[in-house]
Structures are given as structure tokens and as C-alpha cells.
Amino acid sequence: MVGHSRGARRRTRTASALAIAAMVLALAACDGSPRGDVDDTTRPADPLDPRVVAESATTSVDPSWLCDPGGDADAPEHSGEPGVLSPGSVQAEGNHVTVTGAFRLGEDSEYGGFIPDAEIVPSHPENRGAPAQGYEGQLGVEGAPAPPMVARERVEVPGEGAAPSSATAQLTLGTCDDAPLPDGQYLLSLSGGGVDGPGRDEDGWSSSQDVLLDVVGGELRAVPGAVTAPEGEIPADLSPLGCRAPLKAVGDGDGLNVAVSEQETSVSTLFSEEADGVAVDAQVTVTAKDLGTRALLQGVVLTSPDSGTVVAGARNAPAVGLQWIDEDGVSTAESAWTTRLTCTHAPLNAGSYEAHGFAVTVDQEGATHIVLSDPWTVDVVEGDAAA
């Protein structure tokens, strides 16, 4: 099978992952049973020794099948059905990327070494987990776009016998024309040979999900807190922003700064029938020390002056979207409704409240950080609000 669409590859990964999950459960059951007559071949193999990867030779890769779609060069021939690499960690520096994860082969496949290939496409600007428009289909065929980055070198790890329980793919990325790596957000899809199935070079392995990568200033970077993101989101703990929670900053901010402008200081309890309601609006701007893609959620929240607990603008989503932060930061108009979607399910009473702009992010270790702007006072008044 020469070349295949990303959609087909994902369907293959799903089926393979389900089969592998069943196999892992069976292995776990064996580990929990008496050791008497258990066949040693049912136990998981050892992980691939990082020293073996480090000591293995770096081999040049010919990316002409991607750089000249529909030309004379042939794509790598491996279906990806017998094996799955589940990315668990990613490291990136300069032009080099290293992806490590659990590795499993199907029953009738034999391990013959670990030889990674990769396809890299831009991510969708509004959904970090999906390819950008024009890159959703099959690459390397006539009419397909040449990707902005390709694998130029790889580490090939020889081997035979039992497949390792985890494996490491080391790649050096470049461009078709040897230009600097272009800044942006990218998805890296791994596959590879080195597996003997029903036919040599017709079977191999593929990654269960695409790996997230950024290029900032011409150098690769991993996305903080995320290795893969099928929906363009990663989990976060938003409980400190929930209804009736005491509002407080969490963590050290992870290099983020939050500022507000054009904030409203007075709103009315009254609104016309044509309006959806009344809200406290502000322009919330988030800047970062490290540029690139990261988890980011912005908003405005109001607290009670007596208890300091959240009364409007509360958030309870379990995940945070991924956004690109450049030198100017990310600036959006945000609102906290005072006449609907409040924590009391009723309009706020007239009085003074404290407002904050906030930003939520997730760091490389998966910890949630909540950053607050300087507070300002919002008066909810009966009748018309002050100009």
C-alpha cells in the first residue's frame, strides 16, 4: 500500500488501538495470575533502551516523494496495521524531535527493528488537533501540496525477537528547499517499517495520534502540557473559577501576564426586550515569555465584595483550547453577564462588585495555572448605568 489518507490512517489507528487495549488487558490478567505454567512470551517486553537509540546511526531520509508530489519517487510502503506507537512524551530542540511512547505489535507480526517515518502538516488555526485546510487528504500524490517541513534524517534502531514495550523515534526535520523551518503550529504523524508481517515492506506501524509541534524563531518546540490533542484541547482544573468558589490565582503563572482595558465600571439591572442581557465587558490581553502554542482560556469574572466568591463569569469546562501566542499576545473582548448566566440564575442585585480579567494555562507537567489581572470595581445600579 503506497500512501494513504490521514482519515484512513486515523481509522486504522482506532481499530489497532482497540485490539491493543484488549491485548494489554489480557497481559495484565496474566501478570495477576499464579506464575506456575504461564508462558513467558505473554509478558510485556522491556522498553527500548535509550542508550541503544543514542548509539544508533543517523540515516539520511529522501523526502522527494513529498517534495515533488506525483513525481518519480515512491512513498514508503507500510500499511501501519500490525503495530501502534502511542506517543507519551515529546522533546524538541533546534531541528531535532524525539517522540517516545508505548509500542505494541499485532499477534502475527515479528519485530525487525524500529525505523521511523514522518509526515508533518500545518495545524488548523482554530482547531489545533486537525490539519489546516488543504492538508486533510493524502500527501505525496499528484495534486497534493508539498508539506512545509519534512524528515531529512532519522535514527534507525536494529533489532529482532520480542518487540520493545516502548520505543523512541528520533528525527531531524528540514524543508524541501533547505530553508529555515517556518514558524507556526504543526502536526507530526509517525509511521514506520522494521516489522515483518504477511509481506516484508507491506506492513509496519503508525502512531495512534498526531504529535503537536511548534516552530518559533526557526526552532522546534514542544507544546507545554500537551503531546497530542485530537480535539485541540487539553484538560485543566477550572474549579477556582467555578460558581461560589473563592477566587484566587493558582500556580506561578507559567510566564503569562494578564491586563485589561476598555473595562466597564457601571452596568444597569435593566435591559430592553431586544437585548440578550447586560454584561461587564473588557478587553483582556494575555502575553507570554515563551511564544508559541499553549493552553489558553481568557475571560472576565465578578466576585462578591463580602465573600470574595465568584458570582458571575464562572467557568466549569474540563478542558482549555490551544492558542498561538505571538509577540503581541492574544487580545479578545470578554464578558461576564450580570442579568443571566449568573451563579444565582437571577440578575445580580444592585451593589458594588469586584471584577478581574483572568487567563488559564497548563504547563509542561500538566499543572493548571490561573492568572488574574489587577481588580477593578463594578457598580450594578438600578435604572440607567452611569456613562
Helices (DSSP H) in 32-157: which residue ranges?
50-55, 64-67
Look-up of cell digits 488487558: 25
> What pLDDT does residue 82 have?
73
Segment 123-177, tens digit of pLDDT: 998 898 999 999 999 998 999 999 999 999 999 988 888 888 999 999 999 999 9
Closest CA to 360 of 302, 291, 282, 284: 284
* pLDDT at residue 249, rounded to an integer: 97
Q: Examine the pLDDT at 97 and tell me if it is beyond 80.
A: yes
Per-residue confidence band for 367, with pLDDT thresholds at 50, 70 and 90? very high
Question: CA-CA distance, 112 to 204, in Å (whole number)?
Answer: 10
Q: Which is nearest to 320 in space by CA: 231, 213, 188, 248?
A: 231
Q: Which tens digits make up the pLDDT trace of 178-236?
A: 999 999 999 999 998 755 443 344 467 889 999 999 999 999 999 999 999 888 899 99
Q: What is the pLDDT of residues 243-266, one digit of tens each?
A: 999 999 999 999 999 999 999 999
Q: What pTM, to 2 d.p., does this model score?
A: 0.80
Q: Give me the half-sphere count of Cα atoms (radius 13 Å) on the Cβ side of residue 264.
A: 23
Q: What is the mean pLDDT of the chain?
A: 84
CATH topology of domain 234-381: Immunoglobulin-like (2.60.40)
- 312-362 residue pLDDT tens: 999 988 999 999 999 999 999 999 999 989 999 899 999 999 999 999 999
What are the residue ranges spanned by the domains of the chain? 6-223, 234-381
Which of 17-21, 67-71, 160-164, 323-327 is most confident? Answer: 323-327
* 8: pLDDT strictly greater than 60: no
Grid coordinates of 78: 507500510
Predicted pLDDT of residue 1: 30
Higher pLDDT, 372 or 51: 372
> How would DSSP label each residue in 74-103?
PPPB----SEEEEEEEEEEETTEEEEEEEE
